[in-house]
Chains A and B, each alone.
Chain A
Amino acid sequence: MQTVLGQPTLTGIFFFLLFVAATLYITYWAAKRTRTTAEFYAAGRSITGLQNGLALAGDYMSAASFLGIAGLVSLKGYDGLIYAVGWLVGWPIVMFLIAEPLRNLGKYTFADVVAYRLRQRPIRTAAATGALITVLFYLIAQMVGAGSLIKLMFGLPYELAIIIVGCLMIAYVLFGGMLATTWVQIIKACLLLGGATILVFLTLYQFGFNYVELFSNVTSKYGDKFVQPGGLIKNPIDAISLGIALMFGTAGLPHILMRFYTVPDAKEARKSVFYATGFIGYFYILTFTIGFGAAALVGHEIISKIDKGGNMAAPLLAEALGGEIFLGFLAAVAFATILAVVAGLTLAGASAVSHDIYVGVVKRGRADEKQEVKAAKIATLCLGLLAIILGIVFKGQNVAFMVGLAFAVAASANFPALFMSIFWKKFTTQGAVWSIYTGLLLSVILIILSPTVWVDILKNAQPIFPLKNPGIVSFFGSFIAGIVVSWLTKEKEAEEKFETEKIRSYIGIGAE
């Protein structure tokens, strides 16, 4: 099979430029509506539940998960499905425990909620640190992935790809704030869901719209073990540890949590999680089908020849079924996907710097609108440039573990403090601070000592910590630290405020 993958095709460039033109126009439109802090961080709380559901899905469905999971399924079959399932199951947790109280209690960041009845400065410093570390690891993984994927698809030099992605994302966030970022997410989510749906339609068309035919075709080529669980889960504790990080990490990702402030109230927040979970679940089922389609119609030999990890399975299938035009379209969609995810991350990171650190800690809450928006824009610019630099510095490095680490930090530093501050009356400032730093340090130190880094990257013979993801230790460690320290330090004022917090949390009275 001849492929034009790896060269810039006319259609690919055309679709990409179309996307850039449309999103820059939206940014121009949004810039006129982005003056106050509520507009910059939260799109003026004007987004509907359905729109936010699409935007949440857009924030969460990265190019790495689309291309990566399709590739994993195409090469490993059923194991790819086991892996994909783990990425969805955090969403119900977001819905049942976090979305509504977060919307009712906070203003722009999740640190608002943790700091609601505790002492502002220590909490904001700790929570913003957790948020920034999560965002940075996620951002590095996305940028490095972006550079390599764009190189594979369009043949653009790595550094140029990183600079294009960085500059566009800075433009969206800097000028258009949350409003532009949200619409970039929505467009990207529609393109990705639409593109994947067409690809699945074309695949199933080859098999008379009969899944059984597709599975038979694949097992006749690669044997029955392709539709059976294989070597993905060797050690159950390892699988549970990763499961905890994915599940509770989703409920602690700053760029996801921030999206709940863009809707007018808790009811819309709740609706948006329902839509998001539906879109993301549908997307993973499509990705699973695409992986099987690629295994059947493209074949292992070609998929692994072009990229050992199988990342090009979906684009190759698109080319085989829809020709150069469809490949160009899908490549542009992948590019758009990367852009949208990094824009969301940058905005979340910038808000932790400007809203929590600058206004909350440095200015002790005394900054006017103008100063805060200016600080947020400076933070956006710095973070965007940092992302470009880190993307180039980490070129060629194995950064896949950083996504796992970002989820571990989100699950262990951000989620426990957020959860206890909402539900536990006797939670104290010291308890929260200890919980956040314990979760953060445990995640980072243990992942360095784990097989993922200690053996695979640092080339030592034996890992010091046996699990690939530290989730199970850091998650519970953070809870234990928070509970024990809260017992040791009573905070009367915080306990009293818990009652009034309940009125706002459950009924929404006083919510911003």
Chain B
Amino acid sequence: MKEELLKSSLFKEIVRSKNSISLILTVLELIIYFGFVLLVAYNKEFLGEKLYGSVTVGIPIGIGVIILSWLLTGIYVLWSNKVYDEKVSKIREKIGGE
């Protein structure tokens, strides 16, 4: 049973799609955060520019990093609930809901 499951194209597809989603989102998060850190390190003038009243460009960007990080976790949950779980339950059905 196990051999068959491991060789099945459905299982390989599950592993592949899950790994690539995880990888893409992780890289995105790394870019967002370390991009922000490097921006602070190398372009303080840009972050300090006035946007509206006393609000500087840096404030929405900083808050934006927090909100974007949360949205990425939301995207992952949505994808998992819609796509991933369905494939997993298909496999579980096939092998008799063990």
- List residues of A whose CB falls within 8 A of some B CB: 78, 81-82, 84-86, 88-89, 91-93, 95-97, 211-212, 215-216, 218-219, 224-225, 227-229, 232-233, 236, 239-240, 243, 247, 267, 270-271, 273-274, 277-278, 281, 284-285, 288, 423, 499-500, 502-503, 506-509
Contact = CB atoms under 8 A, between A and B. Distances in A.
B91 A507 contact: yes
B40 A239 contact: yes
B48 A96 contact: no
B32 to A, nearest CB: 8
A499 B1 CA distance: 13
A85 B38 CA distance: 13
Contacts of B11: 503, 506-507
Contacts of B73: 91-92, 95, 273-274, 277-278
B36 A85 contact: yes
Contacts of A86: 33
Given A224-B54, A281-B69, A96 B14 contact: no
A12 to B, nearest CB: 31
Contacts, number: 149
28 contacts: A78-B47, A78-B56, A78-B58, A81-B59, A81-B63, A85-B33, A89-B29, A89-B32, A91-B69, A92-B69, A96-B22, A97-B22, A212-B55, A215-B55, A227-B48, A228-B44, A228-B56, A229-B40, A229-B44, A229-B47, A236-B41, A239-B40, A247-B33, A274-B74, A274-B77, A285-B63, A288-B63, A503-B2
Contacts of B74: 274
Contacts of A218: 54
Given A93-B29, A212-B53, A228-B47, A78 B62 contact: yes
A288 B65 CA distance: 14
Given A229-B58, A506-B18, 6 more contacts: A89-B29, A92-B29, A97-B26, A229-B48, A236-B41, A267-B85
Nearest to A81: B62
Nearest to B95: A509
B41 A502 contact: no
B15 to A, nearest CB: 6
Contact of A503 (B5, B47, B58, B81): B5
Contacts of A233: 37, 40-41
B88 interface: yes
Contacts of A247: 30, 33
A503 B30 CA distance: 29
Contacts of A82: 36-37, 40, 62
A279 B77 CA distance: 16
Contact of B66 (A212, A239, A285, A499): A285
Contacts of A232: 40
A86 B32 CA distance: 11
B85 A507 contact: no
Contacts of A97: 22, 26
A96 B76 contact: yes
Nearest to B78: A274
Contacts of A278: 70, 73
A96 B25 contact: yes
A89 B52 contact: no
A92 B25 contact: yes
A82 B44 CA distance: 12
B70 A277 contact: yes
Nearest to A500: B2
A85 B62 contact: yes
Given A89-B69, A267-B85, A499 B6 contact: yes
A95 B28 CA distance: 13
Nearest to A236: B41
Contacts of B66: 84-85, 88, 281, 284-285
Interface in B1-52: 2, 5-6, 11, 14-15, 18-19, 21-22, 25-26, 29-30, 32-34, 36-38, 40-42, 44, 47-48, 52
Contacts of A96: 21-22, 25-26, 29, 76
> A-B pairs with the 6 shortest C-beta distances?
A228-B48, A236-B41, A215-B54, A219-B54, A212-B53, A89-B33
Interface string B61-92: 01101110110111011001100010010011
Q: Which of B11, B14, B56, B66 has the most CB of A within 10 A?
A: B66
